[in-house]
Amino acid sequence: MANSALENTHNIAPTAQGEGQPMQGEVASRSPLFTGRPVKRVTLFAGHYGSGKTNLAVNYALALAASGKTVKIADLDIVNPYFRTKDSERALKEAGVTLISPTYANTSVDLPALPQEAYALVMRRDAFAVMDIGGDDRGAYALGRYAPYLVEENDYEMAFVVNFYRPLSRTAEEAYQIMKEIEAAAHLPFTVIVNNSNVGEDTTAADVLKTASEAQKLSELCGLPAHYYSAKKDVAREIANAFPLTLQEKYF
């Protein structure tokens, strides 16, 4: 599937296969995930529980860093204590990505406190920022405090990450309801959809492609492009333009 086709329409299902303004000193470049779109300075990932948004956020930050960009990633998920960006702290550090996470991340304490560095992330504008947002409308409230700065800068991409194999988001209508709840809580509109549908380690390309029709329905409901797909590396190789993921390690 040619990139030019992706740029001109969002009514495209995946097929099996064998910007914003740059910061000072930066050259505008294409997003490694959102094919045909420029890299925005701030990229936010939000979605329902089990959508895989945290793993996607980590992989996207690593991809930006691999392209030579200065990258910081912030864990703003104050709802889900089980899968956190901090689980990938070692990989992020080795890649030169700065991690900003709640003080009590990966401990037995789970308080809804966000680090002050997160404000600097949206206000200083000296690095590319990736933000992992809470798993539903309650988690998205945390983003609301940063919304005025993001709107003022107007250089962000906000991705709704959906897994159609998860309870409560098995249909386009269910996913759309979750999307609207998150938008209302965050005071920011989504700009794009990422279909991260999977059934875990045993996911096949066929499993992902089977959800294309629901992704298309969701696109029609909200008017946003939905031809962006992500999958673990071996599966992504079989889907045109899919963003390859390294699954996040989990430390208990």
Q: Which one of 3.40.50.720, 3.40.109.10, 3.40.50.300, 3.40.50.450 gives the CATH number of domain 33-245?
A: 3.40.50.300
Strand positions, DSSP E, the chain? 42-47, 71-76, 98-100, 128-133, 156-162, 192-195, 228-232, 243-245
Tens place of pLDDT per residue across the chain (252 aa): 333 222 333 333 454 544 444 444 444 588 999 988 999 999 999 999 889 999 999 999 999 999 999 999 998 866 655 556 777 889 999 999 999 987 654 444 444 456 678 888 898 899 999 999 876 666 788 788 889 999 999 999 999 999 999 999 999 999 999 999 999 999 999 999 999 999 998 999 999 999 999 999 999 999 999 889 999 999 999 999 899 999 866 543
Residues in contact with 98: Cβ distance below 8 Å, sequence separation at least 6, in sequence order: 71, 72, 73, 92, 127
Residue 250: strand pairing partners:
none
CA-based end-to-end distance of the chain: 41
Residue 112, classed as helix, strand or coil, is coil
Query: DSSP character for 156?
Result: E
Each residue's pLDDT tens digit, 20-65:
444 444 445 889 999 889 999 999 999 998 899 999 999 999 999 9
Domain ranges within the chain, ordered by starting residue: 33-245
Sign (positive or negative) of CA dihedral 49, 52, 58, 64 = negative
